[in-house]
Amino acid sequence: MAFEFDVITLFPDMFDAITKHGVTGRAKENEFYGLYTWNPRDFTENVYRTVDDRPYGGGPGMVMLADPLEKAVTAAKLRQTASGVSEMKVIYLSPQGRLLDHELVKELGQLSGLVLISGRYEGVDDRLIKRQVDEEVSIGEYVLSGGELPAMVLIDSMVRQMPGVLGDPESANQDSFVNGLLDFPHYTRPKVYQGDIVPEVLMSGDPVRINRWRLQQALGRTWLRRPDLLALRIKRGMTAEENKLLEEFKKAYKANQNKMNQGKE
């Protein structure tokens, strides 16, 4: 059975670059893999086909709405299941994710399907990530205009590892943040989504509290996900306020983990 890729994207035509050209184009033509695209605008419920809104707490840019994305992901997962995919993952292409390397390519290649979410603007509502995403994947510590190019990088890196895609089977074997922190969580309307409410501080209208919360979340996320980045930040010097915020985050995180563990007993 061919590997199945389903991509959630506002710009499906961009994927012609890999489905109609080069090694990946030939591989698709020869049915080594299938690729299907889903536009979140097709899952909206107003005449404007709105897929984004202003972020809670203020700030520049827009955030992608959770509902159209979730409906698109659900449709993609149902299609994969109907196609016979037995084991799949939903991947959100994000600079905050696990760095794409050869080991991850091989790991994902053990599955039979992937649903890839290509974000735009300032990102997607964090509740969509919590509800639908199995893993976040990054192709590097830099910023692009959207997740389409990272999705294509991931697809290309996986397809060329598929047996028979390259003429010489040995070819694949011989292939050789602005402030140093990860981003904070983003939220947009509605205020309550599937029982999950936007953090109160973002609706307070108090820019001092909001900025403090965002900095703390950025520090905490970096501590949890990229301790190597945090080590560099510490080496360069952190303020007393940043150290205090990080310690508060660690204390709250560990208390919450203990509470969850006790609830499982």
Give the model confidence (pLDDT) of 150-206 as tens digits.
999 999 999 999 999 987 665 565 454 668 899 999 999 999 999 999 999 999 999
Burial of 123 (0-12, 13-18, 19+ CB in 10 A): buried
160 catalytic, yes or no?
yes
Burial of 257 (0-12, 13-18, 19+ CB in 10 A): exposed
Q: Which CATH number fits domain 3-174: 3.40.1280.10, 1.10.3210.10, 3.40.1080.10, 3.40.50.1370?
A: 3.40.1280.10
Q: Which two tokens stand for residue 242?
A: 């940043």
My answer on whether omega of the bond before 12 falls inside 30° of 0, hence cis, is no
Strands 52-53, 63-64: pairing is antiparallel
Residue 145: which pLDDT band, with cuts at 50, 70 and 90? very high
CB atoms within 10 A of CB 132: 20
247 catalytic, yes or no?
no
First vs last C-alpha separation in the chain: 42
Distance of CA 124 to the CA centre of its chain: 9
Residue 97: which pLDDT band, with cuts at 50, 70 and 90? very high
Q: Do the two domains 3-174 and 203-264 of this chain adopt the same fold?
A: no
Q: Please identify which of the residues 12, 53, 79, 122 carries the catalytic annotation.
A: 122
Q: Are 17 and 84 in contact (CB under 8 A)?
A: no
Q: Which CATH number fits domain 203-264: 1.10.1270.20, 1.10.760.10, 1.10.10.10, 3.90.1640.10?
A: 1.10.1270.20
122 catalytic, yes or no?
yes
228 catalytic, yes or no?
no
